[in-house]
């Protein structure tokens, strides 16, 4: 149940890309119609200068804050950071969050109907990239009547989009907040994604991606998610949370009913994930992450950042071994070489990659003070 004074939000859909106005993708293919599911919190100011676009991570969605109904058990994925007086202060800012292109939470993705066939796209859906996600978001922002965003902000895959925004639309972003992210996916990250995709594709129910309307490849998707969860936590966080405790048993039974708590946790997380996530979206989004390599794309990070006009706040976490601090530092050093306005903080926090979702005490004030600075700038140049 939502608390009595909770914010109740209603998701909305923006549909574009009909006939003359198709979305042109990085691969050269076009897509349309495209639906982008989004939510907003707070109000747009009269000068349309206080809009912040939040960019969700791999398994996130448009529902970043508040509740969909008073009966909702859980709020949006970043509710701790969004609201009156919070880091993304909805008394001051107009906060937007949309589900990415290729997603499965309301926006067009591989599970959507292909207008040419009347059937779900499946693997006929085009391979999308971070740039494509950002292009689709830009269409939404433009539709909302916003010329220049006060800020873009996201962690992990959301951080990749934030960087891509500042590179693709230098005149339309005043500030970029990049949390627990990287300018390129490393071999180890590609390797983990490859395992996840293999697990899904090895599930006989996956059926070459053509499973809609029938049984879904839940076992494969669940295993992919288990791998993901390990990479989101740290060794220490897992040790502190689960240790070597057995589930429902005091001592070893020496049979396969012996289960450690960490095993049960992962299996539970994998099992519930399949209720809200589409296996093909897992494949497409993980591929988009694999592709992400800003330096590779623009001929070096320096070249990528040359024309950027936004301020940057980059945050990494000591225990994040999926996107370790050294990857954030590579980005920060390149931004500094290009004489961009960049603040970098490494937060000592034990929660691993998930820290950006969990740590609010230190991350929150940094973000709100960064937003305040950018907002002051924007207002002074009005």
* Known catalytic residue at 20: no
Using a 10 angstrom Cβ sphere, with 0-12 exposed, 13-18 middle and 19 or more buried, the burial of residue 276 is exposed
Question: How is residue 331 written in tokens?
Answer: 């980005």
Indicate whether 210 belongs to the interface with a second copy (CB under 8 A): no
* Known catalytic residue at 320: yes
CA distance 97 to 275: 22
In sequence order, what are the residues at sequence separation of 6 or more whose Cβ sits closer than 8 angstroms to the Cβ of residue 157? 55, 56, 57, 58, 130, 181, 285, 288, 289
**Nearer to a second copy among residue 50 and residue 281 (C-beta):** 281
Whole-number Cα distances in Å, 187 to 65, 175, 283, 340 = 34, 29, 17, 28
Which range binds a second copy by CB under 8 A, 38-46, 114-122, 222-230, 335-343?
222-230
Which range binds a second copy by CB under 8 A, 22-30, 42-50, 66-74, 161-169?
22-30
Indicate whether 123 belongs to the interface with a second copy (CB under 8 A): yes
DSSP strand pairing (23-24 vs 30-31): antiparallel
- CA–chain centroid gap for 79, Å, is 15
| From 153, 273, 324, 331, residue interacting with a second copy (rule: CB under 8 A) | 324
CA distance 220 to 195: 10
Tell me the number of residues near a second copy by CB under 8 A: 57
| From 1, 18, 191, 276, residue interacting with a second copy (rule: CB under 8 A) | 191
Question: How is residue 329 written in tokens?
Answer: 């530092």
Eight-state DSSP code of residue 126: P
DSSP strand pairing (311-317 vs 342-347): parallel
| From 18, 142, 188, 272, residue interacting with a second copy (rule: CB under 8 A) | 188
**Nearer to a second copy among residue 245 and residue 337 (C-beta):** 245
Q: Which of 59, 112, 156, 181 is flagged as catalytic?
A: 156
Indicate whether 239 belongs to the interface with a second copy (CB under 8 A): yes
**Nearer to a second copy among residue 41 and residue 291 (C-beta):** 291
| From 44, 190, 303, 336, residue interacting with a second copy (rule: CB under 8 A) | 190
| From 5, 46, 71, 254, residue interacting with a second copy (rule: CB under 8 A) | 254
Indicate whether 187 belongs to the interface with a second copy (CB under 8 A): yes
In sequence order, what are the residues at sequence separation of 6 or more whose Cβ sits closer than 8 angstroms to the Cβ of residue 62? 11, 37, 38, 39, 56, 97, 98, 99, 105, 106, 107
Run of H or E including 301? helix 301-305
The binding site for a second copy (CB under 8 A) comprises: 26-28, 123, 126-127, 129, 184-188, 190-192, 194-195, 198-199, 202-204, 219-220, 222-223, 226-227, 229-230, 233, 235, 238-239, 241-244, 252, 254-256, 258, 260, 262-263, 266-267, 270, 283, 287, 290-291, 293, 296, 321, 324
As annotated, the active-site residues are 156, 320, 353
């Amino acid at each position: 149940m939502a608390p009595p004074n909770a914010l109740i939000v209603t998701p909305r859909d923006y549909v574009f890309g009909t006939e003359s106005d198709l979305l042109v993708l990085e691969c050269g293919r076009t897509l349309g119609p495209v639906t982008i599911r989004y939510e907003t919190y707070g109000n747009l100011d009269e000068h349309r200068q206080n809009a912040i676009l939040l960019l969700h991570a791999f398994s996130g969605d448009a529902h970043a804050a508040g509740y969909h109904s008073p009966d909702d058990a859980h709020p949006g994925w970043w509710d701790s950071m969004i609201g009156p007086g919070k880091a993304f202060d909805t008394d001051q800012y107009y906060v937007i969050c949309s589900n990415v292109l290729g997603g499965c939470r309301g926006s067009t993705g591989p599970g959507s109907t292909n207008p040419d066939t009347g059937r779900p796209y499946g693997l006929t859906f085009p391979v999308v990239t971070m740039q494509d996600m950002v292009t689709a978001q830009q269409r939404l922002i433009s539709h909302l009547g916003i010329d220049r965003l006060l800020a873009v902000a996201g962690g992990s895959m959301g951080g990749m989009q934030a960087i891509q925004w500042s590179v693709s639309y230098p005149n339309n972003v005043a500030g970029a907040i990049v949390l627990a992210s990287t300018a390129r996916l490393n071999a180890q990250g590609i390797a983990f994604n490859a395992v996840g995709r293999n697990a899904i594709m090895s599930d006989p129910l996956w059926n070459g991606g053509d499973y809609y309307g029938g049984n879904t490849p839940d076992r494969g998707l669940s295993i992919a998610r288990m791998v993901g969860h390990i990479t989101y936590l740290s060794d220490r966080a897992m040790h502190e949370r689960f240790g070597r405790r057995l589930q429902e048993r005091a001592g070893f039974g020496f049979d396969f009913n012996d289960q450690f708590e960490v095993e049960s946790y992962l299996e539970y997380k994998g099992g519930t994930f399949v209720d809200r996530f589409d296996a093909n979206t897992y494949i497409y989004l993980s591929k988009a992450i694999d592709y992400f390599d800003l330096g590779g794309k623009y001929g070096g990070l320096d070249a990528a950042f040359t024309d950027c006009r936004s301020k940057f706040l980059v945050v990494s976490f000591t225990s994040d071994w999926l996107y370790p601090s050294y990857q954030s530092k590579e980005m920060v050093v390149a931004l500094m070489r290009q004489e961009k306005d960049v603040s970098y903080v490494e937060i000592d926090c034990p929660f691993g990659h998930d820290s950006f979702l969990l740590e609010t005490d230190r991350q929150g004030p940094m973000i709100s003070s960064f937003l305040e600075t950018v907002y002051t700038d924007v207002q002074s140049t009005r």
